[in-house]
């Protein structure tokens, strides 16, 4: 990763009082930074996808809750805790599928409880420290995912990815794109076929932008082109991120991933899922327990530029995610190494208590 691309996409601002995020809704046309310190602003940023991608959502929620909690006025612990829990519960409703959101919020709650003997001011300081630790860990995890995934790319000339699981979706490096950044650092040129990813075009707007910035060759595809590209023999591997991985390996990721997995399977192409431990939800037995977010129909009918592109009032199905069955996943690349099937046994061995 070049110095130019070395910035964090989600962080605590220099004053230590605001959540600083790149506004992903403005990309690729403008690079706009948002600084937020109210819980409603943070909720809105997550809900509207100004900050999106499972790890980035978790880190933004942690920093957003910590800076919002810093403004709580409370005379004692009980009063502070009550207001903190109200903020935490509210933020948890922003989006349901990425487990990183509740995971990060729960970590902050534990910090509050562990410090209950101290005054609210001390607890506020401890929350900011924990939120920054979550951000630092995310950077380290993504780097580790890149290192674990790199050997899988030996001899690979081109991969296909869906949605955005890059540095915009995390603090730095990303998950699915991390091995590609590391390959680039080591002089390996891998072309990336990027699905545009309807309806919100995370592939076209975000993945194509960030890979381009990093000097990695991109070919942008409409979502219905993957089979044709695979049939040419141009795709050596499919690599995607995850929003929640169940204990049996079933994986929720951007809508369209499960279709790609069927295609990859049928063409004999490996499909890798890359994710940090914070995305693995061992409390969730299988994909059928994962709540898939349904989003506003206007995302489908009005596209990005808000021009009508379907008859007014037409019935719309707009799930943001789908679940890829574990049997179609070749391996899960994590910060603790590459997990191979059988996932139920191997995920528990690495990530179980």
- The answer on whether 167 is annotated among ligand-binding residues is no
Please, what is the minimum distance in Å from the beta carbon of residue 321 to ligand MRU?
6
Beta bridge partners, 194, equal 161, 220
Residue from 11, 41, 115, 202 touching ligand MRU (CB under 6 A): that is 202
User: Looking at 2-10, 165-173, 224-232, 337-345, which segment touches ligand MRU (CB under 6 A)?
Assistant: 165-173
Q: Strand 271-274 and strand 237-240: pairing?
A: parallel
User: Looking at 79-87, 150-158, 237-245, 338-346, which segment touches ligand MRU (CB under 6 A)?
Assistant: 237-245
Interface mask (CB under 6 A) for ligand MRU, residues 293-332, using x and -? ---------------------------x------------
Binding residues for ligand MRU restricted to 56-115, rule: CB under 6 A: 98
Instruction: List the one residue out of 241, 21, 12 whose CA is nearest residue 130.
Output: 12
54 touches ligand MRU by CB under 6 A: yes
Residue from 223, 243, 281, 335 touching ligand MRU (CB under 6 A): that is 243
Out of 243, 250, 322, 335, the active site residue is 243
- The answer on whether 253 is annotated among ligand-binding residues is yes
Tell me the three state secondary structure of residue 347: helix
Interface mask (CB under 6 A) for ligand MRU, residues 252-291, using x and -? -xx-------------------------------------
* Cα gap 286→248, rounded to integer Å: 6
Q: Write b or e for each residue in 281-298: b if 16 or more Cβ atoms lie within 10 A of its Cβ, otherwise e.
A: bbebeebeebebeebebe
Radius of gyration over every alpha carbon of the chain, rounded to an integer in angstroms: 20
Is 243 a catalytic site residue? Answer: yes
242 touches ligand MRU by CB under 6 A: yes
Please, what is the minimum distance in Å from the beta carbon of residue 313 to ligand MRU?
25
Strand spans (E) along 224-329: 237-240, 244-246, 251-254, 271-274, 280-281, 321-324
Q: Between 94 and 183, whose beta carbon lies closer to ligand MRU? A: 94
| 182 sits in which H/E element | helix 178-185
User: Looking at 51-59, 207-215, 302-310, 344-352, which segment touches ligand MRU (CB under 6 A)?
Assistant: 51-59
Are the C-beta atoms of residues 58 and 98 closer than 8 Å to each other? yes
- The answer on whether 241 is annotated among ligand-binding residues is no
* Cα gap 50→117, rounded to integer Å: 37
Please, what is the minimum distance in Å from the beta carbon of residue 285 to ligand MRU?
21
Number of residues binding to ligand MRU, judged by CB under 6 A? 19
Q: Between 108 and 169, whose beta carbon lies closer to ligand MRU? A: 169
* Cα gap 183→154, rounded to integer Å: 9
Orientation angle between helical segments 77-92 and 54-69, nearest 10 degrees:
150
- The answer on whether 95 is annotated among ligand-binding residues is yes
Are the C-beta atoms of residues 206 and 28 closer than 8 Å to each other? yes
* Cα gap 159→221, rounded to integer Å: 12
Catalytic machinery residues: 243
Binding-site residue positions for substrate: 52-54, 95, 202, 253-254
Binding site for ligand MRU (CB under 6 A): 49, 52-55, 98, 163, 165, 169-170, 174-175, 202, 241-243, 253-254, 320
């Amino acid at each position: 990763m070049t110095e130019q691309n070395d910035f964090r996409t989600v962080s605590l601002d220099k004053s230590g009082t605001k959540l600083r995020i790149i506004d992903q809704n403005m990309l690729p046309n403008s690079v706009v930074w948002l600084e937020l310190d109210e819980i409603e602003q943070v909720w809105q940023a997550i809900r509207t996808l100004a900050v999106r991608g499972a790890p980035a959502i978790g880190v933004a929620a942690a920093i957003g809750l910590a800076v919002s909690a810093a403004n709580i006025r409370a005379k004692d612990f009980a009063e502070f805790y009550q207001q903190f829990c109200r903020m935490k519960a509210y933020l948890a409703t922003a989006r349901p599928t990425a487990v990183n959101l509740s995971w990060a919020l729960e970590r902050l709650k534990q910090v509050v409880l562990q410090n209950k003997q101290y005054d609210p001011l001390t607890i506020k300081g401890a929350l900011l420290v924990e939120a920054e630790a979550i951000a630092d860990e995310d950077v380290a995890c993504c780097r580790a995912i890149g290192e674990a995934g790199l050997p899988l790319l030996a001899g690979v000339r081109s991969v296909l990815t869906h949605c955005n699981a890059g540095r915009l979706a995390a603090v730095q490096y990303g998950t699915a794109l991390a091995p590609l950044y590391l390959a680039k650092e080591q002089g390996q040129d891998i072309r990336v076929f990027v699905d545009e990813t309807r309806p919100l075009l995370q592939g076209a707007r975000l993945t194509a932008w960030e890979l381009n910035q990093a000097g990695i060759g991109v070919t942008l595809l409409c979502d219905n082109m993957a089979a044709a590209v695979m049939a040419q023999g141009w795709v050596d591997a499919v690599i995607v991120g995850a929003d929640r991985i169940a204990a049996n390996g079933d994986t929720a990721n951007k809508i369209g991933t499960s279709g790609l997995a069927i295609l990859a399977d049928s063409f004999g192409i490996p499909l890798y899922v890359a994710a940090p431990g914070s995305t693995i939800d061992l409390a969730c037995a299988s994909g059928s327990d994962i709540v898939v977010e349904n989003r506003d129909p206007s995302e489908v009918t009005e596209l990005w530029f808000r021009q009508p592109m379907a008859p007014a009032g037409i019935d719309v199905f707009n799930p943001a995610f789908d679940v890829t069955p574990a049997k179609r996943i070749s391996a899960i690349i994590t910060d603790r190494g590459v997990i191979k099937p059988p996932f139920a046994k191997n995920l528990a061995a690495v990530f179980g208590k």
